């Protein structure tokens, strides 16, 4: 009997070891800080920025080109959404639509979130490469970093590979870029290996007279995850911005923050408040740095102009909250800002936020 129990124990330990090896092979463990992939077309002489020049920036969560004809399983708080993936036809159509908007706006820098690469639900497309083919004449430089990546996720809704990136397109030279890992939600050891690993993608654009502009792209954890994750991610983001500010490095950050501005929580119907706080964690940034839209814009008389999120939720008939923002160093001057709404409502569940700035005269 003792020999049988010993063999059973050894067999169990062997299975556990094999499981850990398989999980390690299938999943991804990025460093706290690491270089990110950059590319500049050698046939185009991308120029450095000029101190004092105007710079137009657009941030947009393109929802992996899925469009608005679906209620995905994760769109409902209980995971009951009926859809698991978009059709190839919708992916192709929305790729062209995203390219159309970018070509029409022609921002100097484009910050994109939810760009899929090698994900089963989008037919293993490299969506950044497909988009770059359509705007290659506008953006010679780019940077990119994964924030969700696994060869296989054993969820019945996924049951295959995932790959989601932050991507930055630039008219101007990118000297280098880095990926900065943000705190992730608490979970057991196995679940942690498969979950998204939200990050900051920091691209360094050289200034002609020396120094750099740090352009940061991010997508923070979805609202319905653990209660302190947003606070920890905002704190980590603020720490990085404080370091840039202290070093005299001009910067701007844009992305999907998944957090509400002041005053919008109480305007949401109670069933749609899940995961948000009346005391938004985003105050950790807006207390210190200028924001687009401002709280006055996002919750004022013209607040509908600044709504950026149109949930894939049958209870919602249009954009109903603001979760996408641009923040910037006080050394930059805001010239103009808006949300492009009229012709983007059916491309993604997020709307693009556009800001125009003047860079500081002295780097």
- H-run or E-run covering 191: helix 189-194
Measured in Å, how far apart are the chain's first and last C-alpha atoms? 77
Residues in the chain: 363
Domain-located, residue 297: yes
- Whether 142 and 66 share a structural domain: yes
Predicted structure pTM score: 0.94
Domain limits at 18? Answer: 1-30
Residue 242: CB partners within 8 Å, gap ≥ 6? 288
> Cα 199 vs. chain centroid, distance in angstroms?
8
pLDDT at 324: 99
- Whether 7 and 96 share a structural domain: no
- Whether 208 and 328 share a structural domain: yes
Peptide bond preceding 293 in cis form (omega within 30 of 0): yes
- Whether 17 and 104 share a structural domain: no
CB 262 within 8 Å of CB 295: yes
Residue 211: CB partners within 8 Å, gap ≥ 6? 248, 249, 250, 363
- Whether 236 and 199 share a structural domain: yes
325 - beta bridge partners? 255
Q: What is the C-alpha to C-alpha distance for residues 246 and 252, in angstroms, rounded to an integer?
A: 14
Q: Digits of tens for pLDDT over the chain (363 positions)? A: 666 666 666 655 555 555 555 565 566 889 999 999 999 998 888 899 999 999 999 999 999 999 999 999 999 988 899 999 999 999 999 999 999 999 999 999 999 999 999 999 999 999 999 999 999 999 999 999 999 999 989 989 999 999 999 999 999 999 999 999 999 998 877 878 889 999 999 999 999 989 999 999 999 998 665 579 999 999 999 999 999 999 999 999 999 999 999 999 999 999 999 989 999 999 999 999 999 999 999 999 999 999 999 999 999 999 999 999 999 999 999 999 999 999 999 999 999 999 999 999 975
Domain-located, residue 255: yes
- Whether 4 and 108 share a structural domain: no
User: How buried is 224 (Cβ within 10 angstroms: 0-12 exposed, 13-18 middle, 19+ buried)?
Assistant: exposed
Q: What is the C-alpha to C-alpha distance for residues 230 and 236, in angstroms, rounded to an integer?
A: 10
CATH of the domain at 119: 3.60.10.10
- Total domains in the chain come to 2
Q: What is the C-alpha to C-alpha distance for residues 358 and 71, in angstroms, rounded to an integer?
A: 40
- H-run or E-run covering 342: none
- Whether 7 and 153 share a structural domain: no
Q: Which two tokens stand for residue 77?
A: 């708080």
User: How buried is 75 (Cβ within 10 angstroms: 0-12 exposed, 13-18 middle, 19+ buried)?
Assistant: middle
pLDDT at 188: 79
CA 139, 141, 147, 151: dihedral to nearest 10 degrees?
A: 90
Domain-located, residue 73: yes
Domain-located, residue 363: no
Task: Report CA Rg, the chain.
Answer: 21
CB 256 within 8 Å of CB 113: yes
- Whether 16 and 56 share a structural domain: no
Domain-located, residue 167: yes
- Whether 16 and 86 share a structural domain: no
355 - beta bridge partners? 57, 337
- Whether 47 and 12 share a structural domain: no
> For residue 64, what is the DSSP state?
G
- Whether 236 and 151 share a structural domain: yes
DSSP, residue by residue, 256-317: E-----TT-GGGS-GGG-TT--SS-TTHHHHTTS-EES-HHHHHSTTGGGG--B--S-TT--
Strand order in the sheet with 212-219: 33-35, 176-181, 199-206, 212-219, 251-256, 324-328, 291-292
- Whether 152 and 173 share a structural domain: yes
Helix axis angle for 88-105 and 127-135, nearest 10°, is: 40
Q: What is the C-alpha to C-alpha distance for residues 58 and 106, in angstroms, rounded to an integer?
A: 9
CB 253 within 8 Å of CB 237: yes
């Amino acid at each position: 009997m003792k020999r049988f129990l010993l063999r059973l124990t050894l067999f169990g330990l062997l299975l556990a070891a094999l499981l850990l090896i398989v999980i390690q092979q299938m999943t991804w463990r990025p460093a706290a800080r690491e270089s990110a992939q950059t590319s500049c077309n050698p046939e185009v002489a991308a120029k450095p920025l000029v101190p004092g020049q105007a710079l137009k920036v657009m941030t947009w969560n393109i929802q992996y080109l899925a469009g608005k004809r679906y209620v995905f399983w994760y769109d409902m708080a209980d995971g009951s959404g009926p859809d698991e993936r978009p059709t190839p036809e919708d992916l192709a159509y929305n790729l062209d639509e995203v390219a159309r908007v970018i070509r029409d706006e022609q921002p100097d820098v484009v910050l994109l979130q939810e760009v899929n690469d090698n994900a089963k639900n989008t037919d293993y497309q490299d969506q950044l490469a497909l988009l770059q083919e359509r705007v290659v004449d506008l953006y010679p430089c780019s940077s990119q970093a994964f924030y969700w990546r696994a060869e296989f996720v054993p969820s019945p809704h996924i049951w295959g590979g995932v790959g989601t990136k932050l991507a930055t397109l630039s008219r101007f030279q990118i000297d280098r870029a880095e990926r900065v890992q943000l705190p992730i939600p608490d979970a057991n050891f196995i679940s942690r290996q498969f979950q998204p690993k939200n990050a900051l993608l920091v691209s360094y654009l050289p200034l002609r007279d020396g120094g750099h502009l740090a352009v940061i792209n991010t997508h923070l954890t979805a609202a319905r995850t653990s209660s302190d994750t947003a606070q920890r991610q905002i704190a980590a983001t603020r720490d990085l911005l404080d370091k840039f500010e202290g070093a005299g490095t001009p910067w701007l950050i844009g992305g999907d923050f998944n957090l509400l501005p002041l005053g919008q929580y109480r305007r949401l119907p109670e069933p749609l408040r899940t995961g948000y706080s009346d005391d938004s964690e985003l105050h950790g940034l807006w207390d210190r740095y200028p924001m687009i839209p401002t709280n006055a814009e996002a919750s004022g008389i013209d607040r509908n102009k600044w709504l950026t999120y149109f949930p894939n939720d049958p209870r919602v008939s249009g954009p109903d909250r603001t979760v996408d923002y641009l923040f910037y160093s006080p050394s930059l001057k805001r010239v103009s800002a808006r949300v492009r709404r009229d012709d983007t409502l059916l491309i993604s569940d997020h709307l693009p936020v556009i800001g125009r700035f003047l860079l500081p005269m002295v780097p």
